[in-house]
Structure 1
Amino acid sequence: MKERQPIDLYINGQHSDGDSQLSRTIEAPSEEQAAALESATEGELPVYKRTYNPQDTNPKKTLFQNINVKSVLIAVGSAVVIGLCLGFFMLVVMGGFSDDQAGGVSPSTNNANPGSADAGGANDSDKPGTTAFALEPMGAVVLQAGVFTEADNAATIAEQFQRSGIATVKWNKNDQVYLFAGIAQTEEAASALVSEIAPLEVYVKNWETEEGRVDTDSQTKEWLGNLQQKWRESLEHSSKGERINGQEWTSIGKSYPKQDERFDKLHEAVLQSERLNDSASLHQQQAFLIEVWKQLNAAMLQ
């Protein structure tokens, strides 16, 4: 290691002889310096305070802690109220528009075909001048000559019965053709008819139709009620071997209001009562009752 070189010290331009002069200079401050030091230390030093919160420097503090919950609730509540008001306003506007459209519909649509797409989705009871008619469930005991999947086969058997003087009626249901050769109110009465049809083969069968409901005008409703009552009375007379009053049925046919085209085929079947004269056989009367029942059920299902 190299030896340190001596340091030459000059004070006020004069060469100092060593540490004695330096120490004397440092240890003996001037009067001005002493006065300044004394005045600077007089009095108490001001104290500066600062509040320290450890949470301010917590690194785990998330963004959601700075959210004002009250402001958020007020904003959400305001949005909900505004949405409800706008929704109610739109309902009122659209409802008024629909009412205006409904008011312009022609009254002739009351007689529209219920099988169409528009009638199928609408409630006819809402139309002016219509009333509901409820058809009670109907049931009887029939003489079944067969059940067929092909209409031609049913027609072949019907011709065999026709040659023997037995009138038959074809009734389509569930993609099958039922061939009926008689009708009675009870099974006992139906069994008695079987012996009259022999040697043709038939089966005694309970046949029922469900309750139906249709909306139509008041005159057609009254006409349907009278027709159903007359049908029950005629079935009772026929089951007892009595003749059906054809004139009363003809009167019902002539009183048809012709205001609801859904029942036109039923009306045509009723008009066949003109053939129920004194020469009509009991089988012809029964076939008439079956045909009226079939057309009534078909009209109610439309």
Structure 2
Amino acid sequence: MITVWENGKPVKLKVKETSGKNSSQLFKKEQAAAIQEEDESVPTFARLTTNTNKNMANKIKRKYLKPVVIPIFSALIIGSVLGLIMLKMFVTLDSEPTSGGGDIPISTVEKDKEDQKAQKGSSLVQLEGVQAYVLQAGVFNEEANAVEWKEKYANKKIPTIVWEKNKQFYLFAGIAETEAQANHLRQQLQKNELEVYVKEWQTAGIETDLSNAEHQWLETFQSEWNKSLKLLSTDEKLEIKAWKKIVDAFPKDTEDLSQLNTHIVENLDKLSEDNNKQVQGILLSVWHTYEKTIKKLESK
């Protein structure tokens, strides 16, 4: 029996009791229904949760993998390109260039030169320069003009030579060791109504490959030429025996110095003459041939 209020008045109601057995069965049914409903909803909820987690995981993977993958592929591409470039460079270095006709590698030519030097016993040596004062009779742009002017001096028994340098043609009519001696010679020529100018002239020294015999021969030549110029400038006679020794000592296994030696041999007798002006012309021409010889040596 329970009491409730209805319209402001207490009302007593009788409640029907439910047996324990029935109550227990009802509880079990309700519990089973709840469990069944829960069981039915769990698979669905689990599937939804699993898919969502996979999608989220994929997004996270893509988010973190993208900054890593791109640099890796970029590095691979750049590395491949640089590798091809380096390979090409090494191939180019390994391929030997050829000289001239394209049949003989330059390295082979250089090796042959080194072998020839070794056989000759040659080495890099220093040749000293030559210097003196000359009497310049003229300078011309055309060799023909210099040769024409040369005849004017030949008519007065004055030997001259034409010397080309820097694309100009110089006409020399005498030589002396010092500037004072050259001015003395100039005054003598002026008496013959020949106008000349004193000029310092020189042949620069060079470095070149020569055998020991070639080097010694050229040094002996230079020494005797300078000595002859000194004697000539003081009106003394040259020592012809010394020049003959130079000719006799010429290295037989060389061609580079042949032109100079031949020129000395052809003028050997004239060097012993008493004509001072004639000997000046010989020393000038020998000097000129010497310069052409060492220029060829330098260009080798």
Match of 2:188 in 1: 196
Deviations, residues 61-108 of structure 1 (Å, cap 9, x unaligned): 79962517568768977997999799879978979x97995699599x
SS in 2 for 1:170: strand
Summarize deviations over 1:175-209 as a string: whole Å, max 9, x none. Answer: 22111111111110100011222221111111122
1:236 aligns with one of 198, 213, 230: 230
Structure 1 CA distance for aligned equivalents of residues 56 and 33 of structure 2: 38
Query: Counterparts of 1:208 and 1:166 in 2: how far apart (Å)?
Result: 22
Unmatched runs of 5 consecutive residues or more in structure 1:
1-30, 111-124
Q: Deviations over 1:246-284 (max 9, x none)?
A: 22112212221133322222112222122222x431112
Bigger fraction of residues in helix: 2
For 1:94-151, what per-residue CA distance to the aligned partner results, in whole angstroms no more than 9, with x for missing partners?
79x97995699599x95xxxxxxxxxxxxxx677532233221221110011112232
For 1:258, the aligned partner's letter is K
Number of the residue aligned with 1:223? 217
User: In structure 2, do the counterparts of structure 1 residues 65 and 268 end up closer, same or farther at CA, with 3 Å as the change threshold?
Assistant: same
Question: Which of 177, 187, 197 lines up with 2:179 in the alignment?
Answer: 187
Amino acid of the structure 1 residue aligned with 2:223: Q
Q: Secondary structure at the match of 2:238?
A: coil
**Contact 2:133–2:182 at 8 Å: present in 1 too?**
yes
Q: What secondary structure sits across from 1:250 in the alignment? A: helix
- Structure 2 residue 288 is the aligned partner of structure 1 residue 288: no
3-state SS of 1:167 partner: coil
Q: Root-mean-square deviation (CA), in Å?
A: 4.4
Partner of 1:169 in structure 2? Answer: 161
Normalising by structure 2, report the TM-score.
0.66
> Is the partner of 2:281 in helix, strand or coil?
helix
- SS, match of residue 262 in structure 1: coil
Deviates more, 1:246-255 or 1:180-189: 246-255
> Is 1:155 the counterpart of 2:147 in the alignment?
yes
Matches within 5 A, 1:1-302: 37-41=33-37, 46=42, 48=46, 49=49, 50-51=52-53, 53=56, 56=59, 65-67=67-69, 69=71, 101=108, 110=116, 129-198=121-190, 199-271=193-265, 272-277=267-272, 279-302=273-296
Change (3 A) 1:262 1:175: same
Structure 1 stretch displaced more, 279-288 or 74-83: 74-83
User: 1 CA distance for matches of 2:59 and 2:285?
Assistant: 95
Letter in 1 for 2:268: S
- Alpha-carbon distance change, 153 to 225 in structure 1, aligned in 2, over 3 angstroms: same
Rounded to whole Å, the distance in 1 between the matches of 2:286 and 2:185 is 20
Counterpart amino acid of 1:273?
L
2-structure distance, mates of 1:162, 1:225: 33
Distance 1:127 1:173, change over 3 A: farther
Identify if the C-alpha distance between structure 1 residues 290 and 62 changes in structure 2 by more than 3 Å, giving closer, same or farther: farther
Extract unaligned runs of 5+ from structure 2: 1-25, 98-103
Q: What TM-score do the two structures reach when normalised by structure 1?
A: 0.66
**What is the aligned residue count?**
252
Give the aligned residue type for 1:203. Y
Once the two structures are TM-superposed, the CA of residue 159 in structure 1 deviates from its matched residue by 2.1
